[in-house]
Amino acid sequence: MEAESVDSIPVGMNWEYEPKWDGFRCLTFRDQANVDLQSKSGQPLARYFPDIVKAVLDISAEQFVLDGEILIVTGKRLISFEDLLLRIHPASSRVKTLAETTPATLMVFDLLLDDKGRSLVDQPLKERREKLERFAARYFKPGGQVLLSPRTLDIKQARIWLAKAGGGLDGVIAKRLDLPYLSGERKGMEKIKKIRSADCVVGGFRYASQGKLLGSLLLGLYDHEGLLHHVGFTSSLSTSEKEKVTLRLEKLIKEPGFTGKAPGGPSRWSTKRSSEWIPLDPRLVVEIEYDHFSEGRFRHGTKLVRFRPDKDPRHCTFAQVTESRKGSNILRQALAGKIS
């Protein structure tokens, strides 16, 4: 069951609200001594999260299916998506080391099969949530790696969560209490993110996968030492706009582009062509919209709002995107089994 993006939190008696965590969506299947972890796209995750497999096996119930989110909780940033990405590694020895040094947490928000082997997917969320809370009270260990995600029926509380987004809290998920679990659908489940804007320097660009047409603008921000660091990209331009902008960019080609952290090279996720980038004289400024900034970069993509010829590039600093720690407090309360 997936969520549809909307602009505002829905209001009504048939809605419940949950924090939207910044992690990997995960379906957890337990059948006796067998545990399977499955991503939103249906890919197996168990080999990357042996610590979660062990935590699920430690639950005394021998059969159940849970829906939740895998998080990496750290003392520095509380929720680290970068540490999650490190887990997707081909070497089992590397995964084992990471599982020991940065253990994962499974934040559970739905129960699809109970400990008696009864399917709950046809039952409304109101009943599933009540059964999940009883299941969690019986089987989840306080402070363990499998936890119950908070929820509220109070729209005021949901608005507070949205206002406090940051530190690993992406926003708010709203769910219809009267609907069954609609696998693969975006009906009755909505996600609301806190949208922000920032002015960024265009420190480089990439061509599209074929030809000499702009593919994406590479975004930069200055640190307190005056170094320009790569922090993300935006590619939300129409084809006609890209043609005009490409000509403009090619007149500004000049090394080094970024003087601090630069765009990465080829990796197992990118082709040689997609990893190549062209440095620019840092004179262009763009305003972008984003919903999340963590670990020195924009996450989940950005949207180009406009070019800012009136903006001094040197004023485009990290001060605009100081990471909110307010969402961190919500996570701390969730880990402690309480929310406010």
Distance from C-alpha of 331 to C-alpha of 271, rounded to nearest angstrom: 37
Which residues lie across from 190 on neighbouring strands?
4, 174
Which residues lie across from 175 on neighbouring strands?
16, 189
Query: The dihedral of CA 112, 117, 119, 120: what is its sign?
Result: negative
Burial 171-180 (b: 16+ CB within 10 A, else e): bbbbbbbebb
CA distances to 81, 87, 144, 148, 267 from 107, rounded to whole Å, are 14, 17, 10, 6, 30
Residue 73, token pair as written in the block? 């909780």
The single-letter DSSP state of residue 317 is B
Length of the chain, please?
340
Distance from C-alpha of 46 to C-alpha of 37, rounded to nearest angstrom: 5
Residue 249, token pair as written in the block? 């960019």
- Residues 80/101, Cβ–Cβ less than 8 Å: no
> What is the rounded (10 degree) CA torsion for 334, 2, 84, 219?
-110
In the annotation, is 96 catalytic?
Answer: no
Question: Residues 6 or more apart from 63 whose CB is under 8 A from it?
Answer: 30, 31, 32, 113, 115, 116, 117
- Residues 158/172, Cβ–Cβ less than 8 Å: yes
The HSE-up count of residue 128 (CA atoms within 13 Å, CB side) is 28
Distance from C-alpha of 99 to C-alpha of 93, rounded to nearest angstrom: 10
As annotated, the active-site residues are 20
